[in-house]
Amino acid sequence: MTTPIEKDTVATVHYTGTLPEDGSEFDSSKGGDPLSYLVGHGQMIPGFEEEMMGATVGETRTFTLTPERAYGDRNEEGIQKGETSQFPEGIEVGTTLIAETEIGPMPITVSAIDGDEVTIDMNHPLAGKALTFEVEVVEVRPANEQEISHGHAHGEHGHNH
Ligand code: ZN
């Protein structure tokens, strides 16, 4: 009887994430180390955690998440305009910058440049998108007390602090 993925276990998985709209891959652990996460503590996006509950070693699950269950909807208030003089030299459409905000550092993306006017987008790059994941379970083990108190997985493929 192998341990299924459930709250307070550490799951180690290989995953590939694609966009159902065009099949393009936005992230994958294949060819590198698998990912370990502490289950049930918000380390992963909500839909990913829900869909993997109960899976056991060797099992592969494929699922598509709506934006609400992934990185949320795009927020139009996250799109703002500024002047080129406010930004570092050499920015282009697609450049990612880190902005200091009231809630801490946030990545922003330059989404348009029109003369002196720069449009930036503070939404997560995957906000508003449905996401498909193919996830293979490599290992499942009980989490230890330190991991539960820290809220993340430790060990070879997790954090080391
Ligand atoms: Zn820790």
**pLDDT, tens digit, for every residue of 64-117?**
999 999 999 999 988 999 999 999 889 999 999 888 877 788 888 999 999 999
pTM: 0.80
How much distance in Å is there from the Cα of 158 to the middle of ligand 1?
9
The Cα–Cα gap between 121 and 106 comes to 11
How much distance in Å is there from the Cα of 142 to the middle of ligand 1?
15
Is 161 domain-assigned? no
Residues 80 and 67 in one domain: no
How much distance in Å is there from the Cα of 23 to the middle of ligand 1?
35
Is 19 domain-assigned? yes
How much distance in Å is there from the Cα of 139 to the middle of ligand 1?
19
The Cα–Cα gap between 117 and 42 comes to 38
How much distance in Å is there from the Cα of 161 to the middle of ligand 1?
4
How much distance in Å is there from the Cα of 67 to the middle of ligand 1?
29
Can you give the CATH number for the domain in which 90 is found?
A: 2.40.10.330
Residues 29 and 56 in one domain: yes
In which domain, by residue range, is 97 found?
76-121
As beta bridge partners, residue 117 has 83, 114
State the sign of the Cα–Cα–Cα–Cα dihedral 79, 69, 62, 55: positive
Q: Considering its fold, how many domains does the chain have in total?
A: 2
Q: Is 158 a residue whose pLDDT tops 70?
A: no
92 vs 157, residue with greater confidence: 92
